[in-house]
């Protein structure tokens, strides 16, 4: 029996269709809705591209569209269009999550630039995220798994625009980040590491909301091609994350 397939709903497709490129030169594209549904199915299932169910069309069409639009930045543009960037966002949370890299992810032409790091846990990539007060991802980036969480914090915050308050765990308790937050008028809701003397007070009630970003990562990793990295190219792995996040959290 054929496993349950994923299909974009009429309402979801209505929102996505308006964001797709139009009027480009070249051969006429096959059914965009079917192809994007196929890509989402592959992200969920974690299967090899060549095992894409025939209901979506040739697997080469599904993969080539995913890869080409990743290279052209279309998935990133779609994510940004859906998340928006208007005004002060208010409270945001920051965190990172490890993803093991499958052996098929080895051999990318970019070498170390493909965001795979080696440590005692093996070869890994980290997904870095900022979420809003509702727990929805607003900024998503990837980096080698052996890079410390706090090293991506300023880049993430610079990408989101003005915010009022940042929730973060002890991994982000550094003088440099606290100085950066103070310079930008952002309240730091970060517990102090044990060796900091004296301890810096923080809003414990607000900090309780940080669990939303952990729940976001758990839900994002329901997509098997995100829970384990199979993509050689960093841009393709990130593109899958962006597409899954856009459709899961940002389509009404």
Distance from C-alpha of 140 to C-alpha of 195, rounded to nearest angstrom? 30
pLDDT band at 100 (very low <50, low <70, confident <90, very high): very high
Query: Which residue from 15, 21, 178 is spatially nearest to 83, judged by alpha carbons?
Result: 15
Q: What is the pLDDT of residue 119?
A: 81
pTM over 0.75: yes
Mean per-residue pLDDT, 119-137? 93
Token pair of 110 as six digits: 């970019």
Mean per-residue pLDDT, 218-237? 97
Residue 74: other Cβ atoms inside 10 A:
19
Q: Please, what CATH class does the domain formed by 86-243 belong to?
A: alpha beta
Range 133-153 burial, b when 16+ CB lie within 10 A, else e: eebbbbbbbbbbbbbebbbbb
Distance from C-alpha of 53 to C-alpha of 41, rounded to nearest angstrom? 9
> What are phi and psi for residue 138, nearest 5 degrees?
-105, -30
pLDDT band at 78 (very low <50, low <70, confident <90, very high): very high
CA 112 to mean position of chain CA atoms: 20
Q: What is the pLDDT of residue 117?
A: 92
Distance from C-alpha of 106 to C-alpha of 237, rounded to nearest angstrom? 13
Q: Tell me the domain boundaries of the chain.
A: 86-243
Distance from C-alpha of 240 to C-alpha of 237, rounded to nearest angstrom? 5
Token pair of 129 as six digits: 């995220």
CA 4 to mean position of chain CA atoms: 25
Percentage of the residues of the chain whose pLDDT score is greater than 90: 83
Q: Residue 109 gets which letter from DSSP?
A: T
Is residue 1 over pLDDT 50?
A: no
3-state secondary structure of 224: helix
Distance from C-alpha of 87 to C-alpha of 198, rounded to nearest angstrom? 35
> DSSP H helical segments within 92-221, as ranges?
153-160, 175-183, 204-207, 211-220
Mean pLDDT score of the chain: 92
Q: Mind listing the pLDDT tens digit for each residue in 184-213?
A: 999 999 999 999 999 999 999 999 999 999
Q: What is the pLDDT of residue 173?
A: 97
Task: Confirm if 106 and 232 have CB atoms less than 8 A apart.
Answer: yes
What DSSP element (H or E) covers 140?
strand 137-144
């Amino acid at each position: 029996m054929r496993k349950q397939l994923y299909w974009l709903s009429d309402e979801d497709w209505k929102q996505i269709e308006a964001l797709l490129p139009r009027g480009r030169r070249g051969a006429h594209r096959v059914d965009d809705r079917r192809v994007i549904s196929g890509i989402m199915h592959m992200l969920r299932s974690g299967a090899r591209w060549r095992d894409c169910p025939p209901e979506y069309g040739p697997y080469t069409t599904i993969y080539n569209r995913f890869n080409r639009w990743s290279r052209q930045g279309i998935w990133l543009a779609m994510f940004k269009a859906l998340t928006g960037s208007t005004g002060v966002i208010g409270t945001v949370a920051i965190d990172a999550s490890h993803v093991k890299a499958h052996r098929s992810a080895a051999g990318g032409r970019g070498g170390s630039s493909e965001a795979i790091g080696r440590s005692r846990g093996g070869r890994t990539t980290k997904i870095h995220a900022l979420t809003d007060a509702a727990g929805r991802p607003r900024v998503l980036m990837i980096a080698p798994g052996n890079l410390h969480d706090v090293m991506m914090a300023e880049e993430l915050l610079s990408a989101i625009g003005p915010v009022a308050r940042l929730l973060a765990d002890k991994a982000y308790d550094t003088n440099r980040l606290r100085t950066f937050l103070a310079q930008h008028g952002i309240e730091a809701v970060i517990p102090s590491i044990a060796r900091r003397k004296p301890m810096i007070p923080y809003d414990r009630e607000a900090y309780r909301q940080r669990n939303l970003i952990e729940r976001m990562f758990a839900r994002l990793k329901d997509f098997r091609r995100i829970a384990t990295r199979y993509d050689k190219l960093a841009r393709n792995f990130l593109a899958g994350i962006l597409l899954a996040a856009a459709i899961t959290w940002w389509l009404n």
